[in-house]
Amino acid sequence: MKKFNLLLFDLDDTLLKNSSWFLDGLTRCLAVHPLTNKLNAAKFLDILKQPPRYLIEKLISGEYSASEFKRARWEFALRKYDLLIDIERLDELDNLFYKTSMKCITVNEQIKSLVKDLGEHFELGIVTNGLYDPQQKLINMGLGEIFSKEKVFHAEQLGYRKPDSRIYYKALDHFDKKTSETLFIGDSWTHDVIAPLEIGMEAIWVNLNNVLPPTLHKPFAVVSDISEIREVLLSKKI
């Protein structure tokens, strides 16, 4: 088997498997904020979860910062209810959501054990586009000591996002590793498979929904759940 020295992980929907933190946090936020506590939460959630494509494109292109995108997403959803509020109130809503949602992230002992075992054989890092503080997520997951701040490469702080090759090279530079020594692990075919493969890394695709790959790229392995990488990477057969 090819020898890897560095494993780079996506965070949301990969190591942080359960995305309910987002919906649970949002539901609690809407229920307590005076601006939203009388709205139909289910309908509002649907709007907020699916912002229009033009907003997403502005984030991807860099026209919007992460903070600007979050404000625009809230503003778009509130306009559907003829609610117009200023930037300060938009930030207030988003900060409330952040605080409530982070409380919904807890330790997954299976993931914690897996990461600890992997750390005995590989160097480990995180490369994420997530809009909310990855370090706090990792702390709440019980992984804060394993993934210290300098090992987390966050698009919001760097100013460029996956699949921009700069974010992967930033991680490689920090760990002083070559692409050939590095394996990327994540759920996004575009961000976590195609982009790493095209700069010379290998990749494991966490295919959560058991879908067919949309291109002919060949990842190192395909798993349906992050826990399966134990067998791929730590098997005695390796």
pLDDT tens figures, 32-87 = 999 898 888 888 888 988 899 999 999 988 899 999 999 999 999 999 999 888 99
For 64, residues 6+ apart whose C-beta sits below 8 A from its C-beta are 55, 58, 72
Domain ranges of the chain: 6-16+106-234, 20-102
Model pLDDT, residue 2: 59
pLDDT digits (tens, 9 = 90+) for 124-141: 999 999 989 999 999 999
Residue with the larger pLDDT of the pair 40 and 6: 6
Q: Which amino acid is at 116?
A: K
From residue 135, alpha-carbon distances to 2, 12, 173, 183, 238 in Å are 31, 12, 20, 21, 32
Tokens (6 digits) for 204: 């494991």
- Triad 103, 105, 110: Cα angle to 5°: 150
Q: What is the pTM of this model?
A: 0.91
Provide CATH code, domain 6-16+106-234. Answer: 3.40.50.1000
Closest CA relative to residue 102, chosen from 31, 22, 30: 22
Which pLDDT band holds residue 211 (cuts at 50, 70, 90)? very high
Distance between CA atoms of residues 69 and 20, nearest Å: 21
